[in-house]
Structure 1
């Protein structure tokens, strides 16, 4: 019988499930070594993150539109016959690991799949059972996934999810409601989930336009409505939110802080470079920010802060990254693990500049005590696309405004020729 079951669809979700398990183990036995992350344990013997090109290299876009690490398949997994790139380290999983099964509902995006395979290996090395489910692989995959997972769901006392807005997760919870539910971070979606839960609203991602509902939304409306009830606490169901973000507990829920203790203990401390690093965002891909404005902002941030590297978000398009590399001269880095682990492992710049995203909350925790400064650049109103809702604008402002007090805030000041960034 599986007492606890986690559904993850992104590398960050899997990372935060490991952080949750580590926190559970530490709480159960404060005097023990916990799960992974014993100080001094090897965990930095991973290869450097994948560099996909820089201006001087004459970077071009591959025919299939996918950039990957040399010596890997398109989904980031090591091909047959490729030697191992290094040990990820192993630890004893303890009771929490023995009682927890992680189910990867594999996405189709190649970069996400590659990072997930790396994170899945970390989890296996820590004693967890990891089940890779091709949930979106061809016709019939939904029915096959439901059939395969039904026994595990019926037996689970607790279900852990990373994306309460996921249609897949919503359908699973509608069919099998757990007695205990834990929601871990998957980007800033946790903030919106908590706010909507407190207000009793239907669950809608923050960047969706207004309140319009297309045909797909109407068809899935019954599932969303049922999931909204399954994702809320009741007298028979306890709901926990495990988060590093500033979240006000909705009525009836418990908020447990994620301090990234597992990450700090497993990796680093990192070597610091003299320059700065920029962290990319997928706001262009989600239709929130104009591509031209974004590229100009990246160029000006790089010039202002002396940045040399651009850490790409896993959802950023190859075409956009090629343009940034050519027009800014920045070295584009496609991380093969979540940025918190990449930064903790190092090398990393003494200053890390990001647009509003989860990392302005997570990196100060992961890099605590290293001397790295994190700065967040606000999104100027003129960068936004014309159809962006006021709700999305307010959400982005809230992400930047609620960043940890250790984070410097940069305000874009428009000039006739360029953007200038000043400390707010």
Structure 2
């Protein structure tokens, strides 16, 4: 019903601004629009993979599913995904722009890349009040089947103890069951942010150290917190934490997320038994 209600507007629009290009919902919308200007606005790490796949002419597949065999739903949806990729490829009739804070090693021919520097966020909010302790940022790597749940919990516990963390900012996809167990076994205060973490950190109060695993925030938080004394520290993912079902590309992709981050302190993977 929603797509049908938007069809008329999409056909008439000269410019369409969209978020996650891997979303099947977004890909369906792309097959309807005839806009001459397409703008992808996304600060997620998936943007790095999207740009690389577009540059190589590959089908659009999220990194944590890369390497697996397409399922029945993937095969049924393949024509839509292929059509969406073609729409996201610049041509004489269409321009494509990507607005993102993510680093991009491969840029597709004809695509305009505009860097999101978080200047508006810095001008609008803060600087924040900084506390003496540390805060931790959660990840959905367990929910996506990449990292083992027990290994992840032990890693969080070890990091919190080593750095004196008191709060855990949950990722929107983290399950309530996992977060409850994490709070009970680590003593961390679990916070479900109602705003993007970059805004919360900029408004404060925020810990002097922000601990994270490889994720979007290791790229965005240093930009949002430029000019403050807050240090962003990222902990590498130990290969032993990966599940049997993890994509063959998982370790390399996660290492790349950390390795390309600017102004972060890199921590070795903590022991998780």
Please, what TM-score do these two structures have when normalized by structure 2? Answer: 0.97
**1:181-230 Cα shifts (integer Å, max 9, x gaps):** 11111511100000000111000000115140111001101101111101
Equivalent in the alignment of 1:363:
221
User: Out of 383, 396, 403, which is 2:261 matched to?
Assistant: 403
Cα separation, partners in 2 of 1:341 and 1:413, compared to 1, 3 Å: closer
Contact 1:184 1:190 in 2 (8 A): no
Tell me the distance in 2 between the aligned counterparts of 1:145 and 1:336.
25
Residue 380 in structure 1 maps to residue 238 in structure 2: yes
**Can you give the 5+ residue segments of structure 1 that lack an aligned partner in the other structure?**
1-143, 420-424
Contact 2:14 2:35 in 1 (8 A): yes
How far off its partner does 1:295 sit? 0.2
Please, what TM-score do these two structures have when normalized by structure 1? Answer: 0.63
Alignment of 1:185-264 (within 5 A): 185-248=42-105, 249-264=107-122
**1:255-309 Cα shifts (integer Å, max 9, x gaps):** 1000111211121111001100000000001110000000000000001111111
Contact 1:312 1:335 in 2 (8 A): yes
Equivalent in the alignment of 1:299:
157
How far off its partner does 1:177 sit? 2.9
- Please provide the CA RMSD for this pair: 1.2
Alignment: residue pair count: 272
Which stretches of structure 1, 4 residues or more, deviate above 4 A after TM superposition?
none
How far off its partner does 1:393 sit? 1.8
**Can you give the 5+ residue segments of structure 2 that lack an aligned partner in the other structure?**
none
Equivalent in the alignment of 1:164:
21
Tell me the distance in 2 between the aligned counterparts of 1:302 and 1:238.
46
User: Out of 338, 343, 350, which is 2:208 matched to?
Assistant: 350
SS in 1 for 2:4: helix
Contact 2:125 2:203 in 1 (8 A): yes
